[in-house]
Amino acid sequence: MNNEKDNWVLIQRYVLGIALPEERRELELWLDKDPENKKCLQDVEEIMAVSLEDKIEVSAERSWKDINLDLTDKDSRKKPGRVAF
């Protein structure tokens, strides 16, 4: 693998299951080079598993409703403007 930043990106993609076939082969070669690499991957898998379990449910529809209510409330609090003729 090229540099440390690329390594971490590749490891994340691999753990998330979105690595391309060539990326998986590259990571598997890296894993075979050193037992510490396998330990590193296992550690990342454990950390990401815990992180993904704690993810927050987000509803786009609910968020838009909240934004709309907030905007509506702000509009209703505006003072009436002056009309010039």
Three-state DSSP string of 23-65: HHHHHHHHHHHCHHHHHHHHHHHHHHHHHHHCCCCCCHHHHHH
Is the pTM above the cut of 0.75? no
pLDDT digits (tens, 9 = 90+) for 31-82: 999 999 999 999 999 888 877 666 656 677 887 888 888 777 655 555 555 6
pLDDT of residue 61: 80
Q: What is the rounded radius of gyration, in angstroms, for the C-alpha atoms of the chain?
A: 24
- pLDDT in the model for residue 58: 66
Q: Which two tokens stand for residue 17?
A: 């299951």
At residue 52, the pLDDT reads: 66
pLDDT of residue 7: 83
pLDDT on residue 76: 57
Token readout for 60 is 């786009």
